[in-house]
Amino acid sequence: MLDSNRIMSKGFDVEIDTLANGGQAEDSTGVLSERSDLSVGLSSGGGAKSFYIETFGCQMNVHDTEKVAGFLLARGYRAAASATDADLMLYNTCSIREKAAQKVFSRLGEWRGERRKVIGVLGCLAQQEGEEIFERAPWVSLVCGSASYRKLPELVAELESGGRRVMGLDLNVDETFETEITRRDNPIRAYITIIEGCDYACSYCVVPHTRGPERSRASDAVLSEARRLAYAGYTEIQLLGQTVNSYRDPSPRKLSFVELLREVASVIGIRRVRFTTSHPNDFHREIVDAIDSTLALCDHIHLPVQSGSDRILREMRRTYTRDEYLDKISWIRGARRAISITSDIIVGFPGESERDFEDTLTLLDEVGYDGIFSFSYSPRPNTTATSMPDAIPEAEKSRRLAILQERQRQIQLTRNEKLVGETFEVLVDNHNAARAQWAGRTSSNRMINFTSPRENLLGEYIQVKVTRAAPHSLVGEHVALQ
Ligand code: SAM
Ligand code: SF4
């Protein structure tokens, strides 16, 4: 299920059923793995037109799908039970790596010659390929990039009134995508996008081209959504953004990211607040202080480093050095709470020497990450790294990736073994009836599988004592509070 070059510290060492209500597989940073079986679609009823959305990529895409589904439901569409049953079949796509893009085209190929249903491509690949999608798959009639979702009502109206091909690819947007209804699929954790797009220009990354410039949402809109979610029974909120900590409140209140964190954490009923992804350049000590002093802010920070080599970091245009990054890690390690740290790493960037790669390995040892997403560099259109000399052969990239993952596996095992005997508060989010096991996450986002004499634990906060450790998850037992 996980992309082969995106093997992360998997969240699930023991197989667990997906959530009863359209479950989602997340790895230990809470970032969704690239997979093609995330879908929105429910049983049908009535005579309205129906839709089905298949989602690829990150949490931001998953949450965009929830918003697009909400918009379609508000417009009178109903969710179909399967892709085959739907009148409108939408693919919300990812193009972060070549493999992700290929997957979408192979999915589209399954509908070759289809005339009865409307097929649409949303998201990053739509933005990247634009009209080319109509060329490669002439049976597609809607192409809309994620920066243009605000245009979806017009585009869908055009299709409804007989339009054959409609397209929304505008990147010059200064507003975020707000919907009146969001159809949430995860009954335990709710996402709120607080910032969209990206103003950085990492030389390997398509995101600034596919998601447009950075724009933050007004703090009042974020806070009222958090209150509505708490009222609906959610206790855990995850704030989302490609560079979530670059948040700048566009409203007169002008809240900083940390002020927003504190306010969301103080919403009555909200017990856990997470945020991802933080850019090291905008990572300030105040974030650590806020976590230290606010129990509802989870003790986990995802801080992608990408490489341990200063030379490669410069070529990647990451805007920080290894030492500057390590300084920030030392703030986190110096906190009163034990904060878990996870990261993203790319191996095989053009020109990466053995020495550069060794620098990344020593960085793993120095930081002692609790989890990483590791990627083999994939050249992307419209990025400057694509034309850089000294491409690393695929076989060599795979070799480095395997070495990196093995080193990290050992680090995680050692770190997790130290937790045996400790007791954590766990938010229960899964049940495996066949194994008679429950699963949930600690505040530090560690996945724990456990047994309990109790029933109906989904959505509850309980105490779990760790009895065994694996590299990617823990095993434990439910203990009663003393
Ligand atoms: N904004 C986040 C940051 O700056 O860390 C990352 C967002 S990006 C969607 C997720 C991850 O994909 C990146 O951190 C990077 O490790 C990986 N990635 C992006 N472009 C890639 C490429 N061309 N090849 C391999 N991995 C890539
Ligand atoms: Fe891509 Fe860099 Fe922006 Fe992250 S900060 S989304 S890696 S360009």
Residue 481: the pLDDT is: 65
pLDDT tens per residue across span 224-247: 999 999 999 999 999 999 999 999
Q: Is-contact 246 204, C-beta < 8 A? A: no
Q: State what percent of residues in the chain have pLDDT above 90.
A: 80
**Whether pLDDT at 24 is above 60:** no
Q: Is-contact 14 475, C-beta < 8 A? A: yes
What is the distance in A from the centroid of ligand 2 to the CA of 199?
Answer: 8
pLDDT tens per residue across span 102-112: 999 999 999 99
- Look at residues 442, 130, 48, 447 and name the one whose alpha carbon lies nearest to residue 274: 442
Q: Is-contact 280 202, C-beta < 8 A? A: no
The best mutation among 62, 102, 319, 344 to test binding of ligand 1, ranked by most ligand atoms within 8 Å of the C-beta, falls on 344
Q: How far apart are CA 100 and CA 2, in angstroms?
A: 11
Over residues 378-398, mean pLDDT = 96
pLDDT tens per residue across span 352-374: 999 999 999 999 999 999 999 99
**And the tokens for 12?**
């699930």
**Whether pLDDT at 14 is above 50:** no
**Whether pLDDT at 58 is above 60:** yes
**Whether pLDDT at 41 is above 50:** no
- Whole-prediction pTM value? 0.90
Instruction: Give yes or no for residue 192 CB within 6 A of ligand 2.
Output: no
Going from the C-alpha of 241 to that of each of 114, 245, 347, 396, 458, the distances in angstroms are 36, 8, 24, 32, 27
Q: Where does ligand 1 bind, in terms of residues with CB under 6 Å?
A: 58, 96-97, 204-205, 207, 242-243, 277, 279, 304, 306, 344, 346, 375, 377-378, 380
* Atom 4 of ligand 2, nearest CA residue: 242
Nearest atom, ligand 1, residue 379 CA: 23
Instruction: Name the more confident of 38 and 281.
Output: 281
Instruction: Name the more confident of 184 and 393.
Output: 393
Q: Is-contact 129 100, C-beta < 8 A? A: no
DSSP 8-state class, residue 36: S
pLDDT tens per residue across span 71-130: 999 989 999 999 999 999 999 999 999 998 999 999 999 999 888 899 999 999 999 999
Backbone phi, then psi, for 212, in 5-degree steps? 80, -175
Question: In terms of C-beta density within 10 A (0-12 exposed, 13-18 middle, 19 or more buried), how is residue 75 classed?
Answer: middle
